[in-house]
Amino acid sequence: MSIIRPLFIASIGNPSPTYTNTLHSAGHTVLTHLRTWLLTPPFEKSRPYASGLLSASPDYTLWQSPSLMNLSGKPVSTAWRTFLASLSAPEDKRAARLVVVHDELELPIGKIKVREGKGASAKGHNGLKSVLVAMPGMEFTRIGVGIGRCASRESRDVAAYVMRKMTPAEVEIMADVAGQVSEVVREMRRGVR
């Protein structure tokens, strides 16, 4: 018998509209395109879900964090608890999985890396650090979306790089990345992953 897992797919980044389509908010950009791949309704602000943007269908729940990246933990934790409370069947609560989509400097643009389980390092990512602090011991899946890395390792240069707006070509790449992410979450929902 196959498992159908309820999935809560959260993106962390900086809030729109100021930071829409910046490299640091690549997770939000991918989630916006993922909505089309998974046929979920338009995003709407949801107070119970920490005032994040919510797109929920019977099969998938997509959510964009409303906070600055480095403060993502509390809203992700609040939204996750709200999602769990919305599930009526105890077996759904047990099977439910949290997926966090985020930018990844160490990957070339257009690539994704899936890490599962608890105890995986945040690898210097302040948004993930915030989630790990707010949800200690929580097992969740991370999908890192490659944004490439600037040539300099100076923190000032890296900050300027991740805060820049994506080019139209990079936004298109993120739309393609959403297709890759849709395959991963479909496998997770069916219990294959």
Please identify every residue annotated as catalytic. Answer: 24
Exposed, middle or buried: residue 164 (CB in 10 Å: 0-12, 13-18, 19+)? middle
Query: 62 has which bridge partners?
Result: 9, 55
Q: In 3-state terms, what secondary structure has residue 9?
A: strand
From edge to edge, which strands make up the β-sheet containing 141-146? 44-46, 52-56, 60-64, 7-11, 97-104, 141-146, 112-115
CA–CA distance, 50 with 77 (Å, rounded to integer): 9
Q: Which helix or strand (DSSP H or E) is residue 34 part of?
A: helix 26-38
Q: What are phi and psi of 42, to 5 degrees?
A: -60, 150
Q: E-strand spans in the chain? A: 7-11, 44-46, 52-56, 60-64, 97-104, 112-115, 141-146
Cis before residue 108, ω within 30 degrees of 0?
no
